[in-house]
Amino acid sequence: MISRWVVGVALLFGILLLMLPDRDEQSIARIGSASMLVCTKELREQVAKQVLAKETVAVTFSNSCPELIASLKVDDRGTMVIVGNRHPVTMRLYPQVENGKIRWRCHGEPAELITGLCKP
C-alpha cells in the first residue's frame, strides 16, 4: 500500500516537472509578473475596503518586493499601475464592485511577458 503511494507521488512529481515552463526569459518574466501581483495583495485588500466603503482611496505602498516592483501608483479611485524592476512589465489593475465584493481587472504589457492572471 505504502509503495503504491510512493510510486504515485513520484510519478505525479515527474509529471509536474515536465509541465514546468522552459527556463527562458519570457517564462521567467511571466513568473515575475505573477509574483508582482502576489506582492500587492495586502495593498489590494486595503484599496478594496476603501472602494467598498465608497471612500476616496488613500493608501501607501510598502514595497516588500523591490527586486520585482520598480514603482506602484494608486489613484484616488483605486486604479493601480505597477511597473516592473527586473522585467520590463507594466500592469494596470482596476477594482470593480460586483455583488458587494471587489473583483480586480488586470491588463498588462508586453503581452508575452504577462502572467495568464492578467490580460494582455
43-63, pLDDT tens digit by residue?
Answer: 999 999 999 999 999 999 999
Per the domain annotation, does 119 fall within a domain?
no
Element (H, E) at 31: helix 25-39
- What residue numbers bound the domain in which 62 lies? 24-113
Per the domain annotation, does 118 fall within a domain?
no
Q: Categorise residue 36: left if φ over 0, alpha if ψ from -120 to 50, beta otherwise.
A: alpha
The torsion angle over the Cα atoms of residues 10, 16, 22 and 23, rounded to 10 degrees, is: -70
- What is the predicted pLDDT for the residue at 23? 60
Q: Which amino acid is at 94?
A: Y
- What is the predicted pLDDT for the residue at 28? 86
Number of domains in the chain: 1
Per the domain annotation, does 86 fall within a domain?
yes
Per the domain annotation, does 50 fall within a domain?
yes
The cell numbers describing 118, all together, are 492578467
- Fill in the DSSP letter of residue 119: B
- What is the predicted pLDDT for the residue at 74? 96
Per the domain annotation, does 12 fall within a domain?
no
The average pLDDT across 31-37 equals 91
Element (H, E) at 26: helix 25-39
- What is the predicted pLDDT for the residue at 6? 44
